[in-house]
């Protein structure tokens, strides 16, 4: 039994009352059942997708490319389920690990890059490092609250990066040459596409139980990589991403990221765990979805999303 393997202390009555798969086979079938529920919802709501735009996806901190794999699988199931002819393209991904770069190069990506920090001049990054170092001293010597310190760093980063244009090209490990990092307006317009960036920044400073690190925004290297990622997107000029999806652990300070995105994006964030959708694994994560305010995409309000999610769960 699947649940008894994961939860060896559970009684038969407790197991019977839990929703979700009961065997490993059922566990593997769960994503399809979830999509079937979504498909029924879409049909019941009479939503039409014949003119759906195509999707161009980018990612950072890509690891072995699970976000891209999920994107391709979701696109295939979506098109088959609702009859859409929309296309999906994995435009670029990046990771600092050499093994990950090699694995990503074998997948269906157009471009594979290294660190996000290579997108801005070191003279800019050195100012951020100096600020973090100075604030750390205040926390250590003067008892400055860590939360206030994090807010101070976020506001400093916003003022520092807001007028900085990211480099448009980087070394591509797939092409072995410099390539364009992100899709430009001409590419998106010619392919009738929306641009979605899906990224999960390092979680070390937000996971004290696992890593013993409580620095949060004062973790210099992680904060530096995050700032370079987010500002490389929002400082794109005329065409930043239509949607930015960021994933991290439940302890991530999503409120701090409002400093960077609130003027341009409508933002939603919540905590979800596999347990919430019937899988007996405690792994809470905080996804954050930010939708560009000027995009032509249909704009869901928070209440609309809540109602939609409730309907899907009832199917």
Q: Is 215 contained in some domain?
A: yes
- Residue 240's SS3 state is coil
The separation between the first and the last C-alpha atoms of the chain, rounded to the nearest angstrom, is 25
At 80 the pLDDT is 73
φ, ψ of residue 142 in degrees (nearest 5): -110, 5
Selected residue with higher pLDDT from 112 and 259: 112
In a domain, 13, yes or no: no
SS3 string, 152-183, reads HHHHHHHHHHCCCCCCCEEEECCCCEEEECCC
Residue range 256-277: mean pLDDT, rounded? 86
202: enclosing H helix or E strand: none
Per-residue pLDDT tens for 41-59?
666 554 555 567 889 999 9
Question: Tens of pLDDT along 191-223?
Answer: 889 999 999 999 999 987 766 778 899 999 999
Q: How confident is the model at residue 79 (pLDDT cuts 50, 70, 90)?
A: confident
pLDDT at 95: 95
- Distances 257 to 107, 150, 208, 273 between C-alpha atoms, Å: 31, 11, 20, 22
pLDDT single digits (tens) 4-26: 333 334 444 444 455 566 666 77
CB-CB contact of 247 with 283 (8 Å): no
Least confident of 84-93, 105-114, 293-302: 293-302
Higher-confidence residue: 86 or 22? Answer: 86
Contact between 258 and 229 (Cβ < 8 Å): no
What's the confidence (pLDDT) of residue 81? 66
CA atoms within 13 A on the CB side of 297: 20
Top pLDDT among 108 and 301 is at: 108
The continuous run of DSSP H or E covering 297 comes out as none
Angle at 232 between CA 78 and CA 207, to 5 degrees: 75
- Is residue 233 included in any domain, yes or no? yes
**Predicted pLDDT at 221:** 94
Least confident interval from 94-98, 135-139, 230-234, 279-283: 279-283
Statement: residue 178 has pLDDT above 80: yes
Gyration radius from the chain CA atoms: 21
Residue 35: inside a domain, yes or no? no
Residue 26 lies in a domain: no
Q: Does pLDDT of 76 surpass 90?
A: no
Q: Is the pLDDT of residue 303 over 90?
A: no
25 part of a folded domain: no
User: What's residue 47's pLDDT?
Assistant: 52
Domain that holds residue 256: 55-60+68-78+85-314
Give pLDDT, residue 18: 53
Is the predicted pLDDT of residue 301 greater than 80, yes or no? no
What pLDDT digit, counting tens, does each position of 94-150 carry?
Answer: 999 999 999 999 877 689 999 999 999 999 999 999 999 999 999 999 999 999 999
Mean pLDDT of the region 258-272: 88
102 within domain boundaries: yes
CATH number at residue 246: 3.40.50.150
Locate 250 and state its tokens: 């439940």
pTM comes to 0.79
Express each pLDDT in 151-176 by its tens digit: 999 999 999 999 999 999 999 999 99
Higher pLDDT, 77 or 249: 249
Note whether residue 27 is domain-resident: no
Residue of higher predicted confidence among 138 and 84: 138
The tally of domains found in the chain comes to: 1
Query: If you average pLDDT over residues 301-308, what whole number do you get?
Result: 45
């Amino acid at each position: 039994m699947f649940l008894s393997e994961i939860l060896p202390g559970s009684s038969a009555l407790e197991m019977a009352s839990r929703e979700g798969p009961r065997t490993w086979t059922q566990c593997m079938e769960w994503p399809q059942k979830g999509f079937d529920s979504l498909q029924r919802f879409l049909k019941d709501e009479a939503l039409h997708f014949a003119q759906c735009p195509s999707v161009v996806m980018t990612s950072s901190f890509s690891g072995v490319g699970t976000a891209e794999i999920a994107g391709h699988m979701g696109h295939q199931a979506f098109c088959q389920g609702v009859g859409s002819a929309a296309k999906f393209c994995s435009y670029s991904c990046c990771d600092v690990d050499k093994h990950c770069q090699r694995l990503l190069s074998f997948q269906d990506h157009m471009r594979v890059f290294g660190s996000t920090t290579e997108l801005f001049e070191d003279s800019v990054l050195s100012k951020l490092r100096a600020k973090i170092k100075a604030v750390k001293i205040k926390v250590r010597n003067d008892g400055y609250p860590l939360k206030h310190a994090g807010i101070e760093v976020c506001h400093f980063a916003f003022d520092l990066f807001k007028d900085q244009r990211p480099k448009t090209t980087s070394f591509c490990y797939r092409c072995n040459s410099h390539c364009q990092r992100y899709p430009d307006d001409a590419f998106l317009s010619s392919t009738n596409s929306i641009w979605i960036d899906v990224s999960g920044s390092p979680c070390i400073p937000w996971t004290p139980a696992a890593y013993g690190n409580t620095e949060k925004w004062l973790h210099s290297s992680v904060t530096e990589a995050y700032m370079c990622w987010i500002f490389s997107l929002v400082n794109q000029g005329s065409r930043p991403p239509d949607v930015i999806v960021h994933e991290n652990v439940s302890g991530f300070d999503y409120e701090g990221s409002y400093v960077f995105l609130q003027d341009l994006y409508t933002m939603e964030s919540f905590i979800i765990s596999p347990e919430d959708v019937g899988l007996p694994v405690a792994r809470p994560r905080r996804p954050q979805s930010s939708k560009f305010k000027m995009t032509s995409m249909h704009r869901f309000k928070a209440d609309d999303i809540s109602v939609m999610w409730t309907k899907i769960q009832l199917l």
